Amino acid sequence: MKRFFDRLILIDRRVIFLFISLSVIVPLLVKVELPLEVTPEVRRVYELVESLPDGSRILIPCEYAPDVMAEMEPMLYAILRQCYRKNLKVIVTALYPTGVNLIEKELRYMADQMGKKYAEDYVYLGYRPYPAAVILSMGQDFRQSFAVDFYGTPLDSLPMMKGVKNYKDVGLVLTVNATGGTEYWIIYGRERYNFPLAIGVTAVMGADYYNYLKTGQIVGIIPGLKGAAEYEKLIDQPGEAVRGMNIQSIVHLLIVIFVLVGNVGFFLSGQYKKKK
Amino acid sequence: MPISTDIGVWVAVFFTLCIFSFLYKDNPFYKFAEHVAVGVSAGYWFVVLMKETLEPAVFLPLKQGRWNLVPGPFGIFLLILPVLIGLLLFFRFSKKYNYIARIPIALIYGIGAGPTLVQYLQNSVIRQIQPTMVKISFASWDSFSEVLIAVGVVCGLTYFFFSKEHRGTIGAVAKVGIWTLMIGFGATFGFTVMARVSLLIGRFVFLMRDWLGVIS
């Protein structure tokens, strides 16, 4: 028996990798549906967007690169779907250099899907360096940092931007962010100019930003793929995130089993006594 | 859906498999993919910063003769001076004069620290302390979490108080502090696992949908 437990804690890590891979591949091939509860912090973001009057403007600063696309893309798509359904006018910035073209591609894709036109339904301002300075200057006038949009067109020639000066002219700022820039939006943006701010962040960042929810510095948070899946459920259009979360739950279960097996093996194999 | 014929997809598949090969063991394919990723990323940063920063802020005004960014005799300095100060950074490559590079570095730190210090202190530190000083009614579970936050903060800070030995009452409070920290680390680690698994799922979806076409 002791030898069995000794073997248990010596399982080759590649065996674990193989099991994890299978737990992703099999549910992808065989449709799996698991229950998904919507958390209050994600619901708050949804309800706030929903409460904006039709035709009002929303600022969505997107700051992420292709490495976290799997988490952030479904999140952005779900948010954009809701905005376009409500006929909100979407203004997008990208204050992280390696995501500039990716975000432009995603915006075009979603606009095509929803039949929306550039400059009338959405505007892409692109990248400017030094996020903190850009966020501060946008509080005075968007044109201070973005005299022209991503394509080089002056902001005043874009129909959607007429009468839009600064944060006062947008109903909500909802940053989809995988960088430290999230903090800039809270500290230099929300705190300085007092606009409603919601954030969508990667799961890694999630735990670090819940404290801002408690202080009321953000109105809601969409954390990682789970948050994106909840958002897809709220807009009643399950997509990549919901599929991902079904698989995610299976993988998590497997990880928990491996952790338990490893610990049982450790305590019953004699290794524990040796270490003591 | 048939297998992809897009060359871009095949390149991405090759690099994905190169990275995955590390799970078996370290190998030249993994190393190659790792170096390409770093190189491409650096090149991409360079191009974007050149196109979005230097071109509109320096090259175009110089080319178009828009030297005076603000009216008055000193306007030209707003364009030229930052460029000159920035160029001083290249003295890093000189063994004799590398100390000159400290001037722009000091400016960058100074300008960065100036607004950051006050804003962070006010909006991060002080605002974060506020939830530990709220009126507790004991009428709902919210009050329980407020007490928990206050206790966690005090105990956590006590753990980092090193001027007195952690024995007796201080030791007990510090012990609660370390438990609080451990729970925090656990939550962070849980989120990290979720994030990494999300990325793995993303890659498998890419391989099975965009490349092999076996899922929709």
Q: Give the strand pairing for A122-126 and A57-63.
A: unpaired
Chain B residues touching residue A128 (CB < 8 angstroms): 52-53
The answer on pLDDT for B186 being more than 90 is yes
Best probe of the A interface among B17, B47, B191, by most A CBs < 10 A, is B191
Same domain? For A55 and A145 the reply is: yes
- Enclosing domain of residue A252: 2-31+247-275
The answer on pLDDT for A6 being more than 80 is no
| Segment 60-89 of chain B within 8 Å of chain A by CB | none
Chain B: residue nearest A190 by CA? B123
- Please report which confidence band the pLDDT of residue A265 belongs to, taking 50, 70 and 90 as the band edges: confident
Our CA-based measurement puts residue A162 at a distance from the nearest CA of chain B, in whole angstroms, of 23
The pair of structure tokens assigned to B166 is 């952690």
What pLDDT score does B70 carry? 66
Place of tokens 């007990």: B172
Model ipTM value: 0.87
Same domain? For A220 and A109 the reply is: yes
Same domain? For A269 and A198 the reply is: no
The answer on pLDDT for A15 being more than 80 is yes
What pLDDT score does B146 carry? 84
* Per-residue pLDDT tens digits for A115-162: 999 999 999 999 988 899 899 999 999 999 998 999 989 999 999 999
- Closest C-alpha to B85, from B100, B73, B68: B100
- Please report which confidence band the pLDDT of residue A2 belongs to, taking 50, 70 and 90 as the band edges: low
- Please report which confidence band the pLDDT of residue A95 belongs to, taking 50, 70 and 90 as the band edges: very high
The answer on pLDDT for B139 being more than 80 is no
Q: Give the strand pairing for A57-63 and A89-93.
A: parallel
What pLDDT score does A73 carry? 96
- Please report which confidence band the pLDDT of residue A8 belongs to, taking 50, 70 and 90 as the band edges: confident
Mean per-residue pLDDT over chain B, rounded: 89
Q: Please, are residues A200 and A222 in contact by the beta-carbon 8 Å criterion?
A: yes
Our CA-based measurement puts residue A66 at a distance from the nearest CA of chain B, in whole angstroms, of 11
Same domain? For A130 and A267 the reply is: no
Query: Rounded CA gap, A229 and A42, in Å?
Result: 10
Chain A residues touching residue B127 (CB < 8 angstroms): 191, 215, 217
Same domain? For A134 and A264 the reply is: no
| Segment 75-114 of chain A within 8 Å of chain B by CB | 97-98, 100
| Segment 158-197 of chain B within 8 Å of chain A by CB | 184, 187-188, 191-195, 197
- Closest C-alpha to A40, from B198, B152, B141, B151: B141
C-alpha distance from residue B16 to each of A67, A223, A240, B206 (Å) = 12, 26, 20, 10
* Per-residue pLDDT tens digits for B156-177: 999 998 888 888 899 999 999 9
Chain A residues touching residue B205 (CB < 8 angstroms): 28, 70, 240, 243-244
Same domain? For A146 and A175 the reply is: yes
What pLDDT score does B117 carry? 87
Region A238-265 average pLDDT: 91
**Domain count within chain A:** 2
Query: Rounded CA gap, A227 and A212, in Å?
Result: 17
Interchain pair A211, B128: CB under 8 A: yes
Same domain? For A69 and A203 the reply is: yes
- Please report which confidence band the pLDDT of residue B64 belongs to, taking 50, 70 and 90 as the band edges: confident
Same domain? For A213 and A172 the reply is: yes
User: A29-39: b or e for each residue (b if 16 or more CB lie within 10 Å)?
Assistant: eeeeeeebeee
Same domain? For A138 and A82 the reply is: yes
Same domain? For A96 and A230 the reply is: yes
Chain A: residue nearest B184 by CA? A207
What pLDDT score does A86 carry? 95
What pLDDT score does B68 carry? 66
User: The domain that contains A178 carries what CATH number?
Assistant: 3.40.50.620
Same domain? For A64 and A19 the reply is: no
Best probe of the B interface among A213, A251, A256, by most B CBs < 10 A, is A251
Query: What is the spatial order of strands in the sheet that A122-126 belongs to?
Result: A122-126, A89-93, A57-63, A172-177, A197-201, A220-223
Alpha helices in A121-223 (DSSP H): 131-140, 142-145, 181-184, 191-193, 203-214
| Segment 164-223 of chain A within 8 Å of chain B by CB | 183, 186-188, 191-192, 202-208, 211, 214-215, 217, 223
Q: Which of A81-90, A139-148, B137-146, B181-190 has the lowest mean pLDDT?
A: B137-146
What pLDDT score does A264 carry? 85
Our CA-based measurement puts residue B165 at a distance from the nearest CA of chain A, in whole angstroms, of 25
Chain B residues touching residue A28 (CB < 8 angstroms): 204-205, 208, 215
Same domain? For A13 and A57 the reply is: no
* Per-residue pLDDT tens digits for A168-195: 999 999 999 999 999 999 999 999 999 9
More confident call, B123 vs A22? A22
The answer on pLDDT for B123 being more than 70 is yes
More confident call, A252 vs A5? A252
